[in-house]
Structure 1
Amino acid sequence: MPNPLDEFYTVKVTPSDDVKSPCVRNCCLDNEDVCLGCNRTLDEILAWGNASREEKKQIIENSTRRSASKDVLISTAI
């Protein structure tokens, strides 16, 4: 006889789950609501859980671009 709790404890994996979150658990927002750890905007962080695979890829691309831009600003300031 099936256990009725099996459904409760089963994790449902959707195709969008195969994109790893860029979160590095160093969460702190700057004055523009961009996380200093992962370089995602607050809106992108909030949208991540319901985002499609393609949307997640776009968020990662955006955060990578922001990170590279910050690196350039830091290196030119030194």
Structure 2
Amino acid sequence: MNATERPVLSPCVNICALDEDDICTGCQRTVEEITRWSRMDNEERRRVLGLCHERAKSSGLIWMLPSRSDS
């Protein structure tokens, strides 16, 4: 992380409960990702956020509307 870049913020939404796969139902991080977050650099944090987004889409928590150009 360079000196001018701020740390990527945690995706925690204070809904801390693990599902049957040990994924947090609030932020979609694994236990390992949650415990390592404070030691991750921004690049790794961004990668984890991408994984969280994919997990949320896969589980149906979020869904994507097609863009206007797709219709």
TM-score normalised according to structure 2 size: 0.75
Cα offset for 1:18?
2.5
- Relative distance call for 1:60 and 1:15 in structure 2 (3 A) is farther
RMSD: 1.9
* 1:17 shift after superposition: 4.6
Structure 2 unaligned runs (5+)? 62-71
Matched, 1:35 2:24: yes
Amino acid at match of 1:42: V
Q: Runs of at least 4 residues of structure 1 off by over 3 A?
A: 14-17
Which is richer in helix?
Answer: 1
**TM-score w.r.t. length of structure 1:** 0.68
Q: Which runs of 5+ in 1 are unaligned?
A: 1-13, 73-78
Q: Percent identity?
A: 36
The letter for the 1-side match of 2:26 is G
Structure showing greater radius of gyration is: 1
